[in-house]
Homo-oligomer: A and B are copies of this chain.
């Protein structure tokens, strides 16, 4: 149970997403847990929920950095909800608490996290997300997690 030394992979993406993206997020979560990495995300719905669910299916640990001021907002697959009471401003903290990021789909909130990732010099793998210089493209959950763990 030495969580401290495990790599943390942040999964960022849309709070609502289509079935294909959600399936990808689920697979990414599974692979994160199988590789003994810790999943960090924004703790809410959509890509965050599916990735957390995948990680928990494989017995992984999930951390959710929440916008609200109560832990109850977290989706059911978050082990360690962290309330911030900062709204979207907390996006910077999701990134700050990840060693590497996997972006799946996503709208402007995800873009803010990609941007913070670049500001903070974190490696970012993208699946069907914003095409931003510095984001490494992956075409599958497997490829994304492989690239994240390199």
Set of chain B residues within 8 Å of A97, measured between Cβ atoms: 71, 82-83
Q: Which residue of B lies closest to A116 (CB)?
A: B112
Set of chain B residues within 8 Å of A2, measured between Cβ atoms: 79
The distance from the CB of A14 to the nearest CB of chain B, in whole angstroms, is: 12
Complex contact A85–B86 (CB within 8 A): yes
Complex contact B116–A88 (CB within 8 A): yes
Quick check: is A127 within 8 A (CB to CB) of the other chain?
no
Quick check: is A63 within 8 A (CB to CB) of the other chain?
yes
Complex contact A81–B4 (CB within 8 A): yes
- What is the CA–CA distance of A132 and B79 in the complex, to the nearest angstrom? 34
Complex contact A112–B109 (CB within 8 A): no
Within 8 A of B (CB), among A1-32: 1-4
Set of chain B residues within 8 Å of A107, measured between Cβ atoms: 118-119
Set of chain B residues within 8 Å of A147, measured between Cβ atoms: none
Set of chain B residues within 8 Å of A112, measured between Cβ atoms: 92, 112, 115-116, 119
Complex contact B79–A85 (CB within 8 A): no
- What is the CA–CA distance of A46 and B36 in the complex, to the nearest angstrom? 31
